[in-house]
Amino acid sequence: MYSRRKFLKVSAASASLAAISNSILAKPILKSEPTGFPIVISTWNFGIQANQEAWKTLSTGGRALDAVEAGVRIPEADMKNHTVGRAGYPDRDGHVTLDACIMDELGNCGSVAAMEYIAHPISVARLVMEKTPHIMLVGEGATQFAVEQGFKKEKLLTPESEKAWKEWLVTAKYAPVMNIEDQQHTPGSKYNHDTIGMLAIDAKGNISGACTTSGMAFKMHGRVGDSPIIGAGLFVDNEVGGATSTGVGEEVIRNVGSFLVVELMRQGYHPEDACRMAVERIIKKKPETSKNIQVGFLAINKKGEHGAYAIQKGFEYAVCNSKTQDLLIPGKSAYETVGY
Ligand code: SD4
């Protein structure tokens, strides 16, 4: 027989279990109405122009993969942009080495890292995805592959970048500057180091992403950050959403940041909350380091809701859809909001 005493015990136990699982599994309330799709979002203010290029593809029914590739080629080609692509600042030995990766709605991905002499790493990354059995090519092998695919091999170090590098050599102090990206187009800003991460959903609801950078200015030769690493600098899961990152790549890699954000969205968190929780993970693991570095995450879910979060103030992202082509949204930050 099932005694009353036993019944009460079991009921109490199930009630507290339910309370626990409710608190663990509770889905957070959505922050905003879905903005729908097509839509494209990307990191920093230079994302506006990049988004507008991507929008040409998205607004005419094109594929998100084509949109993100076309979009990030804009900052890659921008001679004033010293953080992405051909005019990127070199490493400490004077080599311009570029990193990029791309991921589509089917989970296909391609990447190049520490690649020299090729101005559009994102397009090489796409060909690694489409034409090789591999995901990642690095260094000379990546350049060799690009040349075989018809890319022009050229000197990337611009006179302006060379001048900045020579000035840096005087002290040769390696100290990444927080949010230097804000000064992207400010004459005289020297040590720019940032990345464009772009996420798009096309009219069919398919998600793709791209991430491309010249990495940290004056980094060690051979250093690779998070940007070309699937799961760190970029991750897309077509069932859930996509995420990308910017900032000090070492801390993003350590926490497999973009994958973490997507997995948090899978659990039901809004993109902004997912980004915040990934940022908090970084801060929790390295509280002292985090005081002096910037990392920002940007994410979009399957419904087209988006959000961002960074360690420090100053992060921002650009949004482009049928309603707005030049929206710039400030990313919230842990030090500002939570006040670590
Ligand atoms: C890297 N995440 O190479 C890139 C660079 C960057 O702000 O975004 N810097 O670590």
Q: What is the pLDDT of residues 302-313, one digit of tens each?
A: 999 999 999 998
Q: How far, in Å, CA of 246 to CA of 172, rounded? A: 23
Ligand 1: atom nearest CA of 99 is 3
Residue 202, pLDDT score = 98
Ligand 1 site, residue 249, Cβ cutoff 6 A: yes
At 97, list the tokens: 């080495």
Confidence band of 279 (pLDDT split at 50, 70, 90): very high
pLDDT at 175 over 80: no
Distance 213 CA to ligand 1 centre (A): 7
Residue 174: pLDDT band with limits 50, 70, 90 = low
The residues, ordered by sequence, that sit 6+ positions from 74 with a Cβ below 8 Å of its Cβ are 46, 49, 50, 53
Query: What number is the average pLDDT over the span 76-98?
Result: 91
Specify which residues 35 forms β-bridges with: none
226 lines ligand 1 (CB under 6 A): yes
> What would the mean pLDDT of 235-258 be, rounded to a whole number?
97
At residue 63, does pLDDT exceed 90?
A: yes
Q: Percentage of the chain surpassing pLDDT 90?
A: 72
Looking at residue 302, what is its pLDDT?
97
Integer Cα distance of 92 and 266 in angstroms: 40
Residue type for position 89 = Y
* Total residues found in the chain within this entry: 340
Q: What secondary structure, in 3-state letters, does the chain show?
A: CCCHHHHHHHHHHHHHHHHHHHHHHCCCCCCCCCCCCCEEEEECCCHHHHHHHHHHHHCCCCCHHHHHHHHHHHHHHCCCCCCCHHHCCCCCCCCCCEEEEEECCCCCEEEEEEECCCCCHHHHHHHHHHHCCCCEEEHHHHHHHHHHCCCCCCCCCCHHHHHHHHHHHHHCCCCCCCCHHHHCCCCCCCCCCCEEEEEEECCCCCEEEEEEECCCCCCCCCCCCCCCCECCCEEEECCCEEEEEEECHHHHHHCCHHHHHHHHHHCCCCHHHHHHHHHHHHHHHCHHHHCCCCEEEEEEECCCCEEEEECCCCCEEEEEECCCCCEEEECEEHHHHCCC
User: Is residue 179's pLDDT more than 50?
Assistant: no
Between residues 266 and 314, the one the model is more confident about: 266
Instruction: Quickly state the pLDDT bin for 183 (edges 50, 70, 90).
Output: very low
Which atom, in ligand 1's list, is nearest to the CA of 43? 8
Q: Is the CB of 194 under 6 A from ligand 1?
A: yes
Lowest model confidence (mean pLDDT) among 244-248, 276-280, 291-295, 308-312: 291-295
Task: Give phi and psi for 247, each to the nearest 5.
Answer: 115, -155
- The structural domains of the chain, ordered by start, are 32-338 (3.60.20.30)
- Looking at ligand 1, which atom is closest to the CA of residue 249? 10
Q: Is 246 in the pocket of ligand 1 (CB under 6 A)?
A: yes
**Would you place residue 172 in the very low, low, confident or very high pLDDT band (cuts 50, 70, 90)?**
confident
pLDDT band at 31 (very low <50, low <70, confident <90, very high): low
Which of 61, 74, 33 has its CA nearest to residue 198? 74
pLDDT tens digits along 144-168: 999 999 999 999 999 999 998 998 8
Residue labelled with tokens 């900045």? 164
